[in-house]
Chain A
Amino acid sequence: MQRFSALALARNALSGQTGWQRQWRSPDPAKRYNAIIIGGGGHGLATAFHLARDHGMRNIAVLEKSWIGGGNTGRNTTIIRSNYLFNASSSLYDHAVKLWENLSQTLNYNVMFSQRGVLMLAHNVHDEQVFKRHVHANRLNGVDNEWLTAAQAKAFCPPLRIDAGMRYPVLGAALQRRAGVARHDAVAWGYARAADALGVDIVENCAATSIVRDRQGAVEAVETTRGRIATAKIGVVAAGNTSVIMGMAGLRMPLESFPLQALVSEPVKPVLPCIVMSNTIHAYISQSDKGELVIGAGTDAYISYSQRGALHVSTHTLEAICELFPQFRRMRMLRNWGGIVDVTPDRSPIIAKTSVPGLYVNCGWGTGGFKATPGSGHLFAWTMAKDEPHPINAPFTLERFRDGFLIDEAAAAAVSH
């Protein structure tokens, strides 16, 4: 692997930057691998990286039906935070935040993790109760999160509107200072390059078409659009298409897939210093390094595999943004897109073994998987390598939906009065 640095860039400037090699190879798939990851998004690539680096596993492949990082990794709004309520969730996401803090150095790839802080706005008494519960729970778990008054929130984020004339005035906010954003594509590419350097084969344009099981029911091979590939371990990390892939092994998943839209404005000079989220009026916003306002909201209402949403979701999102930031009303939407998110009944992920020997699954990240990428890869690799979960992901089983040991962050965040 060619090492990246300012010096290397300067050296290459002398040759017109023509000395760079491929960041990852483009191999044909081998006949057999020790482990196969289905899904070349951030989570899948991170899993391969950790399998190779932490567990010394060799002869690994990542199969991607299209181009790596092209699913939700390259479509999300890149918010990274760990201020989740339940112990199981906050440890899971904080594990990831800790890895994010050194990810650029780990991968020798600048993923531009920027801990700008996330403000989560409270607009009513119920919000205030919920966020304070989060703040106290996070503090006991060693996760930073603090309660701010509306004035303190405005001091942290000067463009934010807090006056009483709002339909739903800002009563206060929870602030996680360690939260941030990162460059999503760089995460996929950085992991791909680092995994490739450890010998992982990243096979693009290779879709799994069926999963072959032996007489005992264990995983034996994957049929793909580029031929049959033998393997005894398969990790499925296919986000919105997880149900389809797991169906190939005869497993029905407790997942629903929804379109989730996001949009960006035209780029402008720095104007928004942090991330602002409002669950109550449905919007979140940050500004990218390029200057675009990056905006998202909730999923579309109907399940779908089409990476396209309906206009009214964008209009509703922008209503909320314009209410919070009326000075952005003349800004313009440059690009809008959709991804497909896989949602579990309790809105928490599944990182687990399955009832099929040799088949592992990492899915159900819903609208918030990007933030977990490094931790998810690390834990899923552990689970695949040792055939047992790491203590952090032990609660995130598939069986919890049968047994009722749910980790219901959505229910905890906002329900009825």
Chain B
Amino acid sequence: MTGPFRTEIGGRIDRTRRIDFRFDGRLYSGHPGDNLASALLSHGVHLLGRSFKYHRPRGVLGAGSEEPNALVRVGSYESRATPNLRATQVEIHDLLVAESQNRYPSLSFDVGAINDVLSPLFPAGFYYKTFMWPAWGWRRLYEPIIRRMAGLGRAPTAPDADIYAQRYVHCDVLVVGAGPAGLAAARAAAQGGARVLLCDEQSEFGGSLLSEPDTTEAGRNRLAWRAATLATLAASDNVTLLTRSTAFGVFADNFVALVERVTDHLANPEPALPRERLWQVRARQVVLATGAIERPMVFAGNDRPGVMLAGAARTYLHRYGVRTGRRIVLATSADSAYGVAMDLHRAGLTIAAIADVRNEASGPLAAAARAAGLPLRTSTHIAATHGRLRIRGATLARNGTGAREKVACDLLLMSGGYTPTVHLYSQARGTLRFDESLGAFLPGGDTGILQVAGACRGIFATDVAIADGAEAGTVAAARTDPGGAPQPVRTISVPDSGALLAREAPCDRRAFVDFQNDVTTKDLRLAVREGFVSVEHVKRYTTAGMATDQGKTSNINALALVANERRMDMAAVGLTTFRMPYTPVTFGTLAGAARGNLFDPIRQTPIHAWAEDRGAVFEDVGMWKRARYFPAARETMAQAVARECRAVRTGAGLFDASTLGKIEVVGPDAAIFLERMYVNNFRKLAVGRARYGLMLGEDGFVLDDGVIGRLAPDRFHVTTTTGGAPRVLAMMEDYLQTEWPDLRVWLTSTTEEWAVVSIQGPRARDIIAPFVIGIDLAPQAFPHMAVAEGTILGVNLRIFRVSFTGECGFEINVPADYGSDVWHAIMQQGTVFGLTPYGTEAMHVLRAEKGYIIVGQESDGTATPDDLGLGWAIGRGKSDFVGKRSLARAAMRDPSRKQLVGLLTSNGETVLQEGAQIVTAANGNASIGHVTSAYFSTTLGRSMALAMISGGKARMGEKLLAPMLDRTHEVTVAPAMFYDPKGERLYG
């Protein structure tokens, strides 16, 4: 059943199909093509929301994305519920469930409306002046109440069930807005040979063509022209058309972000479809044809349900076939209102009165209205409106006299002129100028890569806007083809219009400027009185323009009233900054597919699957998944780690070191380059030998470390920490490209080229020797810190004799594709030797027993090589390396610097907490350092720790304290070397 306010014919709805939906629990019907607002209006429902602060009843004000009042929560399941949607933008579909917001217990009876009664106590910024006593009262008493009163809708409580997609595209010309100017621009640009992307926020293209009467001033049939233009565009291969797609942000160099709403309008979307799609567009040229938004009039009681923008009523009539009322009062300060009046009059609605605040109403539209006998009163404003949940009448008053007249009505339309939608232009850093005759800020001009056309630059007449758009499209296309014909130019200039800016009508009641946030003229006056005169201060103090509509209908009125109050020009008052997004954008759309395992890439080594089969417990290290330990049946982590450590110390252990960063440094100057990047000496490093490399930042602090092997005079295999690889490569490239461009060096990240199988322990050599071809692994032939190339199991091999455990060890680098096979083969071969896979936790324990540091654990970006006991690594006689100068600074020689030491607890069972602070018995509150690593060592049969302690090297044997929350542990300072201090096992 169609609503009683539906017209008999016309509109772009499909009257042959009925759609049932619910609003606040009641069942309503509409047609395909309706949005929630039009469908409810067709049933005479105007009351759709409550305002933010005073909880005043509010109806539909507009017909599009500018709507401040009619906000609803849509969705029957929490996992698909969305708050704060504009009813004017919610397309209805079967099963749609919507509810009103910010009211209790119901929309028509809301106890929050008590705020409205108390509003004399709650002017703008009242909260800055009170709620300060008692001092604890804000947090515990006032704030909780205010928070419950504030907010609009309810956030969903369940995880979102929908998916989102993202696309990146390039185009020659992006046209934003598919009204008359935008359609014309897109067609002209396409005809000029450009690849065109045309987007519009609405469900169908056409903009104002859909909202206005059939023929234009020049006699053009609007819908026929639209259809023909769209047909041309649809037939062009070089045109992409995007409806329901809002360009919400313009960034540097014509980078424009669009959000496409894909499924919200569908009752049963394909499950595979994303709900929304983010388009990130890089356009060579942009044409903004974003139209204009009508301004409300500012008068007492201008916020009652049934008070609406004139243009919106026209849209509901022509586009949706809905009469928004029966008896209408029209309040205006612009000629455009007369066109609306004539339209509604022709549609059979009663125009009870037209109140034009201006002293005269001239122009053809006003003349037509007069000729039609519409009751037109100039010099007249609205002094008051009547009604509660719906307007019942308005009191008209002659300007400057006391004459008043009460007129009954069920709809009051306002037209305060149009504000060009310059948001995106302003985001693109275009400069705006104030046009007195239009009463609006207009784009200052073309930026060379971005043009503006149509109503967005003050050209409101459809025929002129079409011509203007076509010119903009032609110019844009020509600019993308610099070799083409002489560049065309724009010829159309902006005409005058007679709109008056908002002036506050004299009244003793409240006149609303920002509807959603309940900012009144009194609030603006109060702000100015209290010294909030900068527009940004006015905005922030009163919250005008800060609601979910971001001031689309209120900003200019607020500015005009402030300008009035301050007796200044609009231009001098200026505008607040336009920020992205143009309309709110779903978090999920911006986050896209990045969730769960797609949140960040998961990096896995070639041995990952094996470790998983083996029941490894993994830890996240950067993006990598690393096996932390390999528990046997019912083993705890401690038991597993103890077993793994024992195996390495007594037999052999196998460790997946593939995550280590690897950089191939190649070129005639490679040795010189490394010598400058690292503190060590590399020029004298022989081919076939490796060296522990220590890298500092410019500040002299340890940044990274790794083993660097020389494979040839001009080729080095550099390893970095797992987490440090990208940073080290970036730093190397930075220096190479900006500081030493003369060096002939090339860097290649090879982290993922090589699988690294590290075998450590007294039996390591025995296990791998049978596989390694072409390299003599005997201790004399292949000593500690040797490197060689050969083959293993028929694949290329780079083998390092290195150790991070203190045992004899080899790091076997093979091409990543063969990593798994080599690992398997070695595991199999090693079984008889008790070869045991071990994880990062055992690796940490083993290296801590030897006092080997982990960058980022022992060091924290404030440690020098000396602090970490690594001063020996600094090459003697080196003229320079990154960080060298900083090492000479006063603070670096301060004897109280923290230095790496070992700590032994008095009770050998106690494992200190990593991060625990260390104090002296003399001063239990002053930290002198902290525990960096602490483990139970099976090898030692007791716990051990590494710590950075102020002046630590001079404190050997000293008793210190580690205070914990519940107790204090006594510790003794020891050398940071608990195992095989002479290195006999290492070199064996």
Contacts and interface: CB of A to CB of B under 8 A. Distances in A.
Contact of B121 (A4, A10, A416): A10
A235 to B, nearest CB: 23
Interface residues of A, number: 111
A266 B155 CA distance: 10
Contacts, number: 343
Contacts of A410: 861
Interface in A301-328: 308, 310-311, 314-315, 318-323, 326-328
A21 interface: yes
B595 interface: yes
Interface string B98-131: 0000000000000000000000110100111111
B856 A335 contact: no
Contact of B856 (A67, A190, A318, A416): A416
B111 to A, nearest CB: 15
Interface stretch (A102-110, A352-360, A385-393): A102-110
A16 B120 contact: yes
A311 B139 CA distance: 35
B860 A416 contact: no
A289 B579 contact: no
A333 B930 contact: no
Interface centre among B52, B580, B727 (most CB of A within 10 A): B580
A168 interface: yes
Interface in A124-169: 124-126, 128-137, 139-141, 165-168
B724 to A, nearest CB: 4
A24 interface: yes
B326 to A, nearest CB: 35
Interface stretch (B300-308, B585-593, B815-823): B585-593
B476 to A, nearest CB: 23
B907 interface: no
Nearest to B621: A417
A108 B81 contact: no
Contact of B600 (A131, A167, A327): A167
A110 B131 contact: yes
A360 to B, nearest CB: 23
Contact of A330 (B531, B587, B602, B724): B587
Contact of A327 (B138, B139, B157, B854): B157
Contact of A318 (B84, B146, B591, B891): B591
A197 B414 CA distance: 44
B540 A268 contact: no
Interface stretch (A50-58, A91-99, A398-406): A398-406
Interface stretch (B374-382, B675-683, B752-760, B914-922): B914-922
Contacts of A404: 699-700, 886, 889-892
Given A23-B531, A189-B128, A330-B160, A129 B536 contact: no
A328 B40 CA distance: 29
Interface in B702-721: 703-704, 721
A128 B120 CA distance: 52
B152 A9 contact: no
Interface centre among A22, A70, A123, A322 (most CB of B within 10 A): A322
A269 to B, nearest CB: 4
A23 B530 contact: yes
B251 A308 contact: yes
A206 to B, nearest CB: 13
Contact of A137 (B157, B602, B930): B930
A87 B146 CA distance: 37
A322 B587 contact: yes
Interface in B936-961: none
Contacts of A166: 596, 599
B537 interface: yes
Nearest to B914: A129
Interface centre among A108, A268, A346 (most CB of B within 10 A): A268
A331 interface: yes
Nearest to B930: A133
Interface in B528-577: 529-534, 536-537, 540-541, 546, 548, 550, 577
B130 A125 contact: no
Interface string B711-753: 0000000000111100100000000000000000000000000
Nearest to A4: B129
B587 A331 contact: yes
Interface stretch (A111-119, A207-215, A242-250, A368-376): A111-119
Nearest to A315: B590
B856 A332 contact: no
Interface centre among A113, A268, A328, A416 (most CB of B within 10 A): A416
B135 interface: yes
B872 interface: no
B522 interface: yes
B121 A13 contact: yes
B579 A132 contact: no
A237 B85 CA distance: 42
A14 to B, nearest CB: 8
A226 interface: no
A67 B857 contact: no
Interface string A160-196: 0000011110000000000010010110011000000
B526 A105 contact: no
Contacts of B894: 405
Given A326-B160, A417-B622, A337 B579 contact: yes
B368 interface: no
Contacts of B579: 335-337
B214 interface: no
Contacts of A334: 548, 550, 581, 584
B147 interface: yes
A291 interface: yes
B584 A4 contact: no
B153 interface: yes
Contacts of A289: 143, 146-147, 150
Contact of A5 (B81, B129, B158, B891): B129
Contacts of B915: 129-136
A410 B723 CA distance: 16
B249 interface: yes
Interface in B844-866: 854-857, 859-862
B595 A416 contact: no
B240 to A, nearest CB: 20
A15 B894 CA distance: 68
Contacts of A112: 127, 138, 143
Contact of B155 (A123, A204, A314, A331): A331
A189 B541 CA distance: 10
B588 A330 contact: yes
Contacts of B147: 270, 289, 291
B156 A17 contact: no
Contacts of A22: 529-531
Given A327-B157, A336-B581, A404-B886, A17 B536 contact: no
B82 interface: yes
Contact of B129 (A110, A141, A165, A330): A110
B594 interface: yes
B170 interface: no
Interface string B514-534: 000000001001100111111
A115 B507 CA distance: 43
Contact of B548 (A8, A24, A267, A400): A267
Contacts of A132: 913-916
30 contacts: A6-B130, A20-B526, A101-B135, A105-B135, A109-B129, A110-B129, A132-B915, A133-B930, A135-B915, A136-B915, A167-B599, A180-B139, A204-B534, A281-B599, A289-B143, A290-B151, A311-B280, A322-B595, A323-B599, A328-B155, A329-B160, A330-B82, A330-B162, A332-B585, A333-B586, A336-B249, A403-B891, A404-B886, A406-B862, A416-B723
The 3 tightest CB contacts between A and B, nearest first, are A411-B861, A291-B151, A133-B915
Given A6-B133, A17-B123, A406-B699, 11 more contacts: A21-B529, A110-B129, A183-B128, A267-B84, A269-B148, A310-B251, A327-B157, A333-B590, A400-B891, A408-B862, A416-B703
